[in-house]
Amino acid sequence: MAAPTRYLAGDGASSSIACLSLCLVVLDEGRRKRRRSSEEERSRRSGRDAVGSEAEQEAERKCEDMLSVARRPLSAAVPVGNLLGIHLFQCPDTVGIVARLSECIASRGGNIHSVDFTYNPMLWPRDVLRTDFLNLSQHFSAQRSTVRVPDLDPKYKISVLASKQEIPLFSHACALLFTFSQDHCLFDLLYRWQEGRLPVDINCVISNHDRLKDNHVRRFLERHGIPYHYLPTSPGNKREQEILELVQGTDFVVLARYMQILSEGFLKAYGKDIINIHHGLLPSFKGGNPSRQAFNAGVKLIGATSHFVTPELDAGPIIEQMVERVSHRDTLQSFVVKSENLEKQCLAEAIKSYCELRVLPYELKKTVVF
């Protein structure tokens, strides 16, 4: 079933742009209907009271559907013999952009589904596909025209920077409440990578805090052949040159609670995107201890923010945000626990969206997320 493509145009007073992202989102409705019919038939045969269990069964079905969609690769619904293509296109706003792009895909036998397209590689070889979109980008003076075919293209190579500092939290009376580590984002990322739920290859993990060899993260990395680099930092030496050498050849870098500020010189030298997770709902509560800041402010919503790294602290374009409600009954410890759960989900979703070409920065601090 075809649906309108997503389109954004800026106003004429500013540097207007048009953004088009083509992505595939198709659910196997037939399979779901067959499963439901089968469940209903079994229920009738067994004489089960459908009224009493209807809500429970529906909740279970929804949970299964959500897990199925979450684990399903992008190309799961692509017809046999076809491939999924993703095209991210940014150009000055003008009449006919969507029409020309649609015509290009249709003329090669491709088909747009929702906001992606599928095509037959025998009818539209990859080099011809690249040339066709290149010609369109030149015609519309595009600032960006990126095409990916997930089943053919190599996975993104990333490096992960992560701290592991035992952070104490004190009460106002300076009594130690508890300490918490910062490995939750790193380990969640590694687990999702192992499960094949993130389209990336991890080049290495870099940390400014050491971990014992029998640490669960070290054991995981050693088991999967992922290099681990311990680079202790100090106020006068951030080890940025060494980090830069280690991340060369990667497509982007992920900061999984890396509690160091990267200099503007490092960002320019690396020259590619860096994605950070902040355990607060930006633009509020920037900097350190955002959970304590939020707790002291008496907020009713806490959150996590994944954003691009820029020279200004915690001010880069936002990719993803997630929130959870809190109340006066929550303690500082429960704030931290809830925040950690949000951080893991928020970072993973940001990485997934970025790899699927669903994130387009514009106007310095804004993003379009398709």
Specify whether 188 is catalytic: no
Closest CA to 341 of 253, 277, 258: 277
- Taking CA atoms, 339 is separated from 179, 261, 269, 299, in Å, by 15, 21, 32, 13
Q: Is 11 left (phi over 0), alpha (psi -120 to 50) or beta?
A: beta
CB–CB of 21/358 below 8 Å?
Answer: yes
Query: What are the structure tokens assigned to 25, written together?
Result: 């989102």
CA atoms within 13 A on the CB side of 177: 15
42-74 in b/e burial notation, b at 16+ Cβ within 10 A? eeeeeeeeeeeeeeeeeeeeeeeeeeeeeeeeb
Largest CA distance in the chain: 74
- How far is Cα 130 from Cα 166, in angstroms, rounded to an integer? 49
Q: Which of 183, 188, 273, 314 is catalytic?
A: 314
- Taking CA atoms, 130 is separated from 79, 133, 155, 332, in Å, by 21, 5, 18, 53
H or E stretch covering 89:
strand 83-92
CB–CB of 256/186 below 8 Å?
Answer: yes
Q: Is 6 left (phi over 0), alpha (psi -120 to 50) or beta?
A: beta
Write the DSSP string, 210-271.
---TTSHHHHHHHHTT--EEE---BTTB--HHHHHHHHTT-SEEEESS--SPPPHHHHHHH-
Enzyme catalytic residues:
314
